[in-house]
Amino acid sequence: MVVYDLEKFGLSETLRGGNMNLKEKIEAMKFFLLKEADNRYQNPDGTFKKMTCPDDPDEESKFCGCVRYFMSQGKSLDSAKKLCAYIAKKKGK
């Protein structure tokens, strides 16, 4: 289980606020968690970070970072590779 320091991210006051209903608080936490997941795999400029490949730990590339991101979203290895190849093709890389 991962524990987040809400003070560090400025969310403790947001979630404690009496003007938010439970549904709004849940949506705020979902947004925060998705943002945190993206930060693990993406650079601030939106490119993917260099990471080791799930199927070849000796290889490290931004493509592998892309694959790991989509796998973290529930895609299979094959589907993640296809999505990342499509993105690379569209970007001209």
Asked if 54 and 70 sit in the same domain, the reply is yes
The alpha carbon torsion through 24, 27, 28, 34 (nearest 10 deg) reads 180
Q: List b or e across 58-93, with b for residues whose CB sees 16 or more CB atoms inside 10 angstroms.
A: eeebbbbbbbbbbbeeebeeeebbebbeeeeeeeee
The predicted pLDDT at position 65 comes to: 93
The predicted pLDDT at position 58 comes to: 93
In tens, the pLDDT along 47-64 reads 889 999 999 999 999 999
The predicted pLDDT at position 32 comes to: 61
Asked if 4 and 24 sit in the same domain, the reply is yes
82 pLDDT higher than 70: yes
Asked if 27 and 57 sit in the same domain, the reply is no
Parent domain of 26: 1-41
Mean pLDDT of all residues in 19-31: 68
6 vs 75, more confident: 75
Residue whose pair of structure tokens reads 């490119």 in the numeric block: 47
Asked if 35 and 56 sit in the same domain, the reply is no
